[in-house]
Amino acid sequence: MSYLIYSKGIECPACMKAKEALNENQIDFVEVLISPTFPKEKMVELVLNKTGLTVNTVPQIFMTEDKTESYIGGYTDLVKHLLSQQKNDYNEFKL
């Protein structure tokens, strides 16, 4: 299982919290930084194409498991997701 986070890096407190939660729980992720070479509009288009949702905030988080990508959402959605995984897997996540 791995995660993909569209982020603004240190400019975004929620992005930092999402990365911290994954790091503290030793969960692999790839961060795609919103930048001049990867503008926010490109992220919005990618999320729309994958989910049918129009989003305008970061972080936007996806999970890949067994070659299947699932949309998680933002930071609070990630917390809910990790807590539900905790109940299913009997793991104790640090949040």
pLDDT one-digit tens code per residue, 29-38: 999 999 999 9
Residue 69 confidence (pLDDT):
94
Q: How confident is the model at residue 85 (pLDDT cuts 50, 70, 90)?
A: confident
Residue 88 confidence (pLDDT):
58
* CA atoms within 13 Å, Cβ hemisphere of 33: 7
pLDDT one-digit tens code per residue, 53-64: 999 999 999 999
